[in-house]
Amino acid sequence: MTNTHNSPSTRTRVVVIGGGYAGTMAANRLRARPDVDVTLVNPRPAFVERIRLHQHVAGTYRADIDYHDLLGDGVRLLVDEATRIDAANRRIQLASGTVLRYDYLIYAVGSTGAITAAVPGAAEFAYSICEFESAVQLQGRLAEVAPDAPVTVVGGGLTGIEAASELAGQGRPVTLVCGGMLGPSLHAAGRRSVAKALRKLGVDVREAAVVAEVRADALELRDGTVLPSAVTVWTAGFGVPDLAAASGLATDAVGRLLTDETLTSIDNPWIMAAGDAVAPSGQPLRMSCQAALPLGAQAANTVLARIAGTSPAPLDQSFAAQCISVGRNAATVQLSRRDDTPIKAFVGGRLGTVVKEAICKYTVKWIRGEATKPGSYRWMKGGRAAQIAPGHVERGAAV
């Protein structure tokens, strides 16, 4: 396909949908070209540090940051919600009724917490912690109950561990209900470290416990056990907005946009994607800011390459660790191979807290750095690229 943006008098319109880690990084990086007009569409006026929402709920940290502190000069923030993408005509319908036109689109809508409707009472009585608005609701509910009222956290993954430990650190009696094992993404050694820290906080960990029903004041397990619960926090489940699927774009079974290894939509060369809602070659990366920031930068690089008429580089990034806070005084940093496979080594205890806090601070620092100097952000490579067969590169995306 012929590049139509080589003329110096032509400005290129790029719209980024979603202002999370991936979308904000992408918007800032696109400013590397002065002839690009960047619009960031996000439903709220503030950036949310999702990796700190458990702290926001507990009142130990404020997880929202004004976009004026993160976005580079020239990035237009449009507080609105995309309801449909007209890919054939390169237009986006917004909830306000506005129609945005674009030359290129970066799809970075992120993920959502999915409270299952299959468990009676879950949707009615459980609280999510995966988005800012739901976290605020949970914070309000916790303020209504006595400090010694029992709290149950459902989900033994990293979000559940962090939520349970943060609330237990306030002196609340907390039960953590794991559908399977605790911390299934961790190595056995890292899992033991997390379990030890949870025990110190007094968290009652129930492994292989399946929820049968959620009530206003209790939780019933499939084996008939009834757990008193003044507040139930639901962290099990993963979902993505249905914008791509509803717009007729190719997605995986969960709804993530399918792309090739340049993060270009497999059925539309003007759309790139990054973050939790993308499945490159049908193989999504683990939900994390560790994946989102490089994905955002690489999606922006692909757009910039298309504008310049050069061949975009295939996806190349790697992982280093999983970082889990276990209260304010302990953390487990589970080290991994570059392909994200956990290894026996980990950093725990107070040292783990120092490492985890430094990494959390750097996620925002890297976004701000990209706003100041577009193109400056660097990331670890050699993990994802080594796992992908050569035939996957540039699949159906030549422009």
Residue of 4 and 122 predicted with greater confidence: 122
Q: What is the 8-class DSSP label of residue 245?
A: H
C-alpha torsion sign, points 138, 141, 145, 149: negative
**168: buried, middle or exposed (CB in 10 Å: 19+, 13-18, 0-12)?**
buried
Q: What is the pairing mode between strands 91-94 and 82-86?
A: antiparallel
- Helix residue ranges per DSSP H, 53-92: 53-58
**pLDDT at residue 114, rounded to an integer:** 75
Average pLDDT, the chain: 92
DSSP 147-171: TTS-EEEE--SHHHHHHHHHHHTTT
Length of the chain: 399
CB 55 within 8 A of CB 63: yes
φ, ψ of residue 246 to 5 degrees: the values are -65, -20
**pLDDT at residue 398, rounded to an integer:** 23
CB 95 within 8 A of CB 80: yes
Q: How far apart are CA 154 and CA 236, in angstroms?
A: 6
Residue 4 reports pLDDT greater than 80: no
Both tokens of 398, joined, read 């030549």
Q: How far apart are CA 85 and CA 244, in angstroms?
A: 7
**pLDDT at residue 7, rounded to an integer:** 44
Residue 175 reports pLDDT greater than 80: yes
| Prediction pTM value | 0.92
Cα-based angle 235, 331, 358 (whole degrees, multiple of 5): 105
Both tokens of 162, joined, read 């962090």
φ, ψ of residue 101 to 5 degrees: the values are -100, 150
Cα-based angle 90, 96, 99 (whole degrees, multiple of 5): 20
What number of H helices and E strands is found in the chain? 10, 23
pLDDT, tens digit, 9 for 90 and up, residues 349-397? 999 999 999 999 999 999 999 999 999 999 999 887 544 433 322 222 2
Percent of the chain scoring above 90 in pLDDT = 89
* Res. 117 pLDDT band, cuts 50 70 90: confident
Residue 2 reports pLDDT greater than 70: no
* Res. 238 pLDDT band, cuts 50 70 90: confident
Average pLDDT over every residue of 321-342: 95
Q: How far apart are CA 335 and CA 337, in angstroms?
A: 7
**204: buried, middle or exposed (CB in 10 Å: 19+, 13-18, 0-12)?**
middle
**pLDDT at residue 172, rounded to an integer:** 97
**pLDDT at residue 1, rounded to an integer:** 37
**pLDDT at residue 385, rounded to an integer:** 59
Q: How far apart are CA 276 and CA 266, in angstroms?
A: 17
pLDDT, tens digit, 9 for 90 and up, residues 187-200? 999 999 999 999 99
**pLDDT at residue 391, rounded to an integer:** 30
* Res. 103 pLDDT band, cuts 50 70 90: very high
Residue 32 reports pLDDT greater than 90: yes
pLDDT, tens digit, 9 for 90 and up, residues 247-274? 999 999 999 999 999 999 999 999 999 9
- Residue 381 pairs with which residues in a beta bridge? none
Sequence-ordered list of residues with C-beta below 8 angstroms from that of 66, at least 6 positions apart, any chain? 45, 46, 47
pLDDT, tens digit, 9 for 90 and up, residues 58-73? 999 999 999 999 999 9
Residue 340 reports pLDDT greater than 90: yes
**pLDDT at residue 9, rounded to an integer:** 54
The CA-atom distances, in angstroms, between 269 and each of 1, 171, 265, 272, 312 are: 9, 53, 6, 8, 12
* Res. 112 pLDDT band, cuts 50 70 90: confident
Cα-based angle 362, 142, 146 (whole degrees, multiple of 5): 135
Average pLDDT over every residue of 17-32: 98
**pLDDT at residue 116, rounded to an integer:** 82
Residue 224 region by backbone torsions, left for phi larger than 0, else alpha for psi between -120 and 50, else beta: left
Query: How many CB atoms are closer than 10 A to CB 202?
Result: 12
- Residue 279 pairs with which residues in a beta bridge? 258
